[in-house]
Structures are given as C-alpha cells and as structure tokens.
A and B are shown apart, each in its own frame.
Chain A
Amino acid sequence: MKRAIYMDHAATAPVDREVAEAMQPYMTEMYGNPSSIHQFGRQTRKAVDDAKETMASAIGAGYNELIFTSGGTEADNLAVFSAAYSRRDQGKHLITTAIEHHAVLHAFNHLETQGFDVTYLKPDEYGIVSAKAVEEAITAETTLVSVMYGNNETGMIQPVLDIAEILNDRGILFHTDAVQALGTESFDLSASPIDYAAFSAHKINGPKGIGLLYVKEGAPVLPMFHGGEQEKKRRPGTENVPAIVGFAAAVAKVSAEKETRKSRYAALKEDMLQRFSASAVHYVVNGDQDRSLPHILNISFPGVNIEALLMNLDMDGLAVSSGSACTAGSVNPSHVLTAMTDDEAISHTGLRISFGLGNTNEDAAAAAEMIIRTVKRLQ
C-alpha cells in the first residue's frame, strides 16, 4: 500500500518525536504529584513551572496569566463563562460570530438558555468579521465579545487586535479562540488589549488532553471545577505533567521554526492552487488567501458530492476533511461556509486541506493531482 498523505492537521496533528521524547521521563522516572511536598513533587512542580515560563514567553504573557486546561474546548468554555457570569449584573448582551468553533458557539448557545442575549455576527463573503461590524453590534448592555483568531475551516484571520482595541476603550471583555493560530502566528498578549485567549497542544504536534487559557491580569475567572488548590484554585486537579511538558516542547519548537513553517505551508498552498488553476476543474477558493492562516486551504467544488469526493480520496490515501472534525461526525453542511454564502453549491461542497510537519512538496503535488482527477470524474 502506498503511503497515506495526511493533510488534516487542523483536526489534529501527530505528536512530534522530540515532544514525545520530552514527555517520556515524566512518565517513567519523574512521576510525582506536583502538589506533593517531597522531592518527587518538587521535581514535577518545577517541570510544570518551567513549562509555564516557556509558554508565557512564547505568547508574550505573564506566568500568572496562564491556566492549563484539558484542551481547547475547556479553555474556551472557561473564558466565555467566566466573563459572561462575572459581569452578569453589568449587562446581559454578548457578541460572537457565526463562524466560531463549536466550543465557543455552543457555550454562547448555552448562555442564551441562561437569560443572555447573544448577537452572532455573520462574516463577509471572504469569511471575515470586521471590527466595524463588532462596533455596530455593541450596546450599553454588552459585556463580552468573542471572535476567533483564525478560523478552523477557512483559515481566515480575523481582525482581533482592532476589535480588542475598540472594546478595551469601552471596558468590554474580549476573548479569542486562538487554537488554530498558535502554530504560525505571533502573540504578544500582555501588551495587547486581548483579555482571554484559548490554545490547544494537539493542533501543534503536542499531545491530546492539554490546553491553555491566557487570562489577562485582572480579568475575571470563575472556576468551572472545584477541588484542590492547583492553578490558584482556578483549575483544580492533579496537573497532567507529561502533557504539560509536551505542550511546552511543542510550543518551543513552533517559536523556533515559525517563519520556516509559515513559508513552507504557504508554498504548499500556492503549489496546490496553481495546479487547480491549471486544471479544467471548476472550483472556488473560500476566503482570501492574503488574510489566511498558511496551513489551511478551503476549496469548494460546485457540482461535486462532497461525501463521494472524500470517500474517493480516502481510497487513494489522502486524509482531508469537510468541515471541522468536531462537526464531521454529523454530515451537516459547514456552519462556517453557510455563514459566508447563500450559494449551497459552494457551502455544501467545501473541502478543507490543512498542512503540517511532514507534508512535502511531493505530497502537495500528489494530493492536488488526486483531487483534480477525482473531481473531474465527479463533476
């Protein structure tokens, strides 16, 4: 069997070998509970502290501004619920976008059942929600706005700093789901007007089961869980030491290789786009590639049954996706593309290709040819 090509890194990415090696000693020899007062505990406490320092310097945050969680979903939930509930007496109007990951979208849906009024902003045709649209939606009752940094389906980078600036002047809290952006974008969070930012390790070749929430000094945190005194009581439970160490190793590697990765993914994307353009297939690129995360490419093939396309690509050994993994189980059309266009020929036929470590020029060429061949047959 020929080697399968994995281009679904926005769903999850394999654990990098160096990351796995960094984790290993914290499973075998250094297994203490970081809360234990003996040397086993002190050893792993130091590992957790060091990992946090690494994360803090990588995203321009203070050590005390970081909380480890079980993943991106928990980080998003913690931010959204903390902000909404703690400012409840100041207002019950919240703003987010129609293109958020379900970890944010469904948290806001839940808040609607708790008496909050939520505005879901639609993006423009390129999948971008403008700062102006956010500004216009603000009311005297608005306490929280959540806009993702880079969309997980289209890769479109949202103007989060402009938005945060507007909100900062009005004392409105701002959260951004930055899960997809960690691998290629640069952050200087403490200096920015962003109050909360959510991250996840397994999208950047770290382990599953570990996430991170940045909370600006002074921004409210209402713990979702109660128990021990870990994370200053903001997130109790024995720290997942090996995963935390792995997350930091993955982040350190990203920091060192960010520019190379960016240009490599951009080149892979460019190569695939050129091949599509040179082919006779009918396609529409979703979004504006000048404002996109380099590792995500979303293309619709009008007239193609997306299920059939995916199944054929599967058989040829190409792993890509339609929609995000969390919605993939259900084969509903992408809520992101649906928010961008009324044209079902486009919103129902989107294919997400997402690059990562290990993808070569040959992979991109082979993947593009595979897609073109199959689409031609199906169109």
Chain B
Amino acid sequence: MIYFDQSATTQPYPEVISSYSEAAGRFFANPASLHPLGTEAEQVTEQAKEKIARQFNLENYDILSVSGATEANNMVLQGAAQMYKNRGDHIVTTVLEHASVYETAKRLESEGFRVTFVSPDDDGTISAEKVINEITDQTILVSVIHVSHELGTILPVEEIGRKIKDYPKARFHVDHVQGACKLPINIEKSGIDYVSLSPHKLHGLKGSGLLFKRKSALLKPQMNGGGQQGANRPGTENTAGLAAAAKALRISEENRGAYVNDIRRLNEYLSSELAKIPGVEINSPENRSPFILNVSVPGMKAEAIVQSLAKKDIYISTKSACSSNDIHAPSRILAEAGFEHKRASSALRLSMSYKNSMDEVCEVIQAMNRVVSEMKEVKNS
C-alpha cells in the first residue's frame, strides 16, 4: 500500500495515540473543575500549550485549542473582521487559500467587506510585493496561506509579515496547515498575528486544531459560553487531544530535521520522472513544498486515474479533500490560479510525508506511466 494523500490526512504516530489514551484515562477530569483531578487536567492542558509555544518560539502568544483548522481560520477571518471593522473594511487574501479561508472571505464580502483575492504570477508564485501593494489605509486583515494545499506553492509569509509592520492597522494571519513542522517560519519575529495549524495533517489526531494568537491582536469570539481559554474559545477543553497534538508536533519537528532533505529529493525525482510521461504536465511551481506535487493529464479524467492507481494499491487525490463532493468539477484553485479548464479539471495531487520512501516514489512513477499509457490506448482505439 502506498499512501500519497498525506495532505488530506495522515496516519497518527503510535506515540500520539498513546499520549491521547493515557491523557484520556488519567486526566479525564474537566480542566475547569476546582477539585485536584480538575487541577491536574488543567496542568496537563497548560503544559501541552507551553511545549507548543516553546517549539514555535512564541512568547507573547495565546495557544488556543480548537476543533480544527477550519474553526481556527473562521475564528480569525470572522473574529478579526468583526473586531476591527471600525478601523476599515478591506481584507487582502489570495486565490490559493483553503476553502475555510476562501469561503469565509466570500461570506464577509457578502456582508459588506471588500476583499482582494491576489492571484499568482505566470511562474505560479505570489511575491510579497504583490500582496503588500494591495494594502490600503482601509485594510484591517491580510490572510495568506503559507503552503498551498493543492499546488504546494510556498508563499513568502515571513517577508510579507516583515513588510506589514509598516501598516499598523493591518493584522496578519497565516494558514500554516501544510507548512508547520515541514517548512518552519519565524512567527513572532515576522510579525504574524494569527497562525492556524492542524495536527491531523502531521500524524496527529483529527478534531484538534490550534490557533496561535498574538496577545495584542484581538478577535471577537465566534462562540459564547464558559470562560475557558480567556473567553476566546468556550467549551470544555480537550485535554487528551491537546496532549496528542503537542506530541505530534514534536515528533514531526524531529522528523523534519532528519528527513526533509530526503523528501525534497523524492519530490524532485517524482516531478522530473512524471514530466517525462507523454501527456503529463507539472502544475506545482519550482518553489514548492517538498511534500506536495500537483500534475495534470489534460484530456483524461482525473478520478479515473485515481481509481486505476487505487487498484494498484496507490492512493492519491484529485484536489483538496474538502472540496471533493463534486468530483467532476475542476479545481477552483487551479482555475483561479490561471490554469486552463482542461488542465484544472484533470489535476492530481500527490502528497507525501516522512513515512514515504524512494521505493514508493519509483512504484508510483511506474504505475502512473502504465495507467496513463493504458488510458491513452483506450482513448485512441
């Protein structure tokens, strides 16, 4: 079995599952309870947050545990828009964003905010200048994805962050879901106010997302209830989920140090070999995450290729899992990034993690070669 859909979700590390089970068993109490069991659970929760803060070198940030990156992204876009609406009505983001940012920005647009969606240049990338140039004196929020989940494009979020410091009105959010523990960024020094993270993309568990919030950057809470997490996010804290998240982030960071160069070589080899298959075109730009490669086989049905590969026990995806309901629709992101319809509707995403090997890459290349030529024959006969 070869699993090349690591950007959709990952297999949790065994240590993560142990952390979860141990915390769920030993520290089951409600962290808001006053008795010692509650206090213990609260300590475990706080320790996990401290570990995460240390790993990301965060001193003046709140670490908020949320249900996932979708909630984190919504909390930032809606919360910052509502909090700072009397300062201005303009938001800058990109067409490469995940649906949880893009759709929320569209929603804010329908509520009267003005939203600029920056598109990539011909080389597929978006420069810091291009984002900064869209900022006006009405801009209250800039939200940029660090690594595009479909194309793997790396956006210069550190540079954008440093330049946004010249615009004190504009808060800066980074969707770091596909970049965390893969392509580290200096959050605090780069002036990033809000960061969204999703441990289940890093061999952690589903249902536990993280939002890093600079203490001086405010958000209108999206939910009302108990006073948990400084009233930023009510609801009983998921102690075990948070302990598991801290563990997943730590192991992924260790693996990054050990394997990221290997992954880079795998991605480059995969890209150069797939490019040799007649009919295959590489969609990801040169400056991409080593963990993601997006290709198209124009004229062929992407889902047919996915299913043929699945028969060979190889699992990849067509586009973001969150938008897979209408599997025949072209990728919204590729279309808006400027790819023609034929290419946007035949895109395949291959996404890797530390667990994948060169042997697997070679098998995927061979299988792709066979599947594409077989399908071509069927088409031509």
Contacts and interface: CB of A to CB of B under 8 A. Distances in A.
Nearest to B12: A27
Contact of B100 (A72, A225, A240, A241): A225
Interface in B7-62: 8-12, 14, 16-17, 20-21, 24-25, 28-30, 32-38
Contact of A227 (B37, B104, B222): B104
B100 to A, nearest CB: 3
B29 A11 contact: yes
Contact of A328 (B32, B69, B223, B303): B32
B215 interface: no
B205 interface: yes
Q: Which of A4, A38, A73 has the most CB of B within 10 A?
A: A38
A72 B228 CA distance: 14
Contacts of B217: none
B38 A107 contact: no
B71 A8 contact: no
B186 interface: no
B234 A228 contact: no
Nearest to B21: A20
Nearest to A80: B224
Q: Which of A110, A207, A225 has the most CB of B within 10 A?
A: A225
B287 interface: no
Contacts of A37: 303, 306, 317-318, 324, 327
A27 B33 CA distance: 28
Interface stretch (A28-36, A118-126, A277-285, A339-347): A28-36
A319 B306 contact: no
B29 A41 contact: no
Contacts of A70: 66-68, 71, 207, 235
A39 interface: yes
Q: Which of B67, B208, B227, B228 has the most CB of A within 10 A?
A: B67
A8 B35 contact: yes
Interface in A313-350: 313-314, 319-322, 324-330
Nearest to B39: A314
A326 to B, nearest CB: 3
Q: Which interface class (under 10, 10 to 19, 20 to 34, 35 or more) fits A?
A: 35 or more
Nearest to A19: B24
Q: Which of B24, B106, B317 has the most CB of A within 10 A?
A: B24
Q: Which of A4, A33, A40, A71 has the most CB of B within 10 A?
A: A33
A372 to B, nearest CB: 19
A225 B72 CA distance: 10
Interface in A5-61: 6, 8, 11-15, 20, 24, 27-29, 31-33, 35-41
Interface string A160-188: 00000000000000000000000000000
Contacts of A40: 3, 5, 315
A321 B37 CA distance: 11
Interface stretch (B138-146, B157-165, B237-245, B365-373): B237-245
Given A207-B240, A208-B239, A208-B241, A27 B17 contact: yes
B341 interface: no
Q: Which interface class (under 10, 10 to 19, 20 to 34, 35 or more) fits B?
A: 35 or more
A15 B25 contact: yes
A254 interface: no
Contacts of B239: 208
B363 interface: no
Interface in B319-346: 320-325, 327
Given A77-B225, A227-B73, A238 B3 contact: no
Contacts of A24: 17, 21
Given A40-B5, A71-B236, A208-B236, A236 B99 contact: yes
B34 A321 contact: yes
B207 A236 contact: no
Contact of B70 (A12, A209, A238): A238
Given A41-B321, A314-B36, A227 B226 contact: no
A376 interface: no
Interface in A218-241: 224-230, 236-241
The 3 closest A-B pairs by CB, nearest first: A228-B322, A240-B207, A326-B226
Given A15-B28, A226-B74, A319-B35, 19 more contacts: A8-B29, A11-B30, A20-B21, A32-B5, A32-B8, A36-B5, A36-B8, A36-B315, A39-B310, A103-B235, A107-B225, A226-B107, A228-B99, A236-B99, A240-B67, A321-B35, A322-B34, A325-B30, A326-B225
8 contacts: A8-B30, A38-B316, A74-B67, A110-B224, A224-B74, A227-B103, A228-B323, A238-B321
Interface of A: 4, 6, 8, 11-15, 20, 24, 27-29, 31-33, 35-41, 69-74, 76-77, 101-103, 106-107, 109-110, 200, 202, 207-210, 224-230, 236-243, 310, 313-314, 319-322, 324-330
Interface of B: 3, 5, 8-12, 14, 16-17, 20-21, 24-25, 28-30, 32-38, 66-71, 73-74, 98-101, 103-104, 106-107, 198, 200, 205-208, 222-228, 234-241, 303, 306, 310, 315-318, 320-325, 327
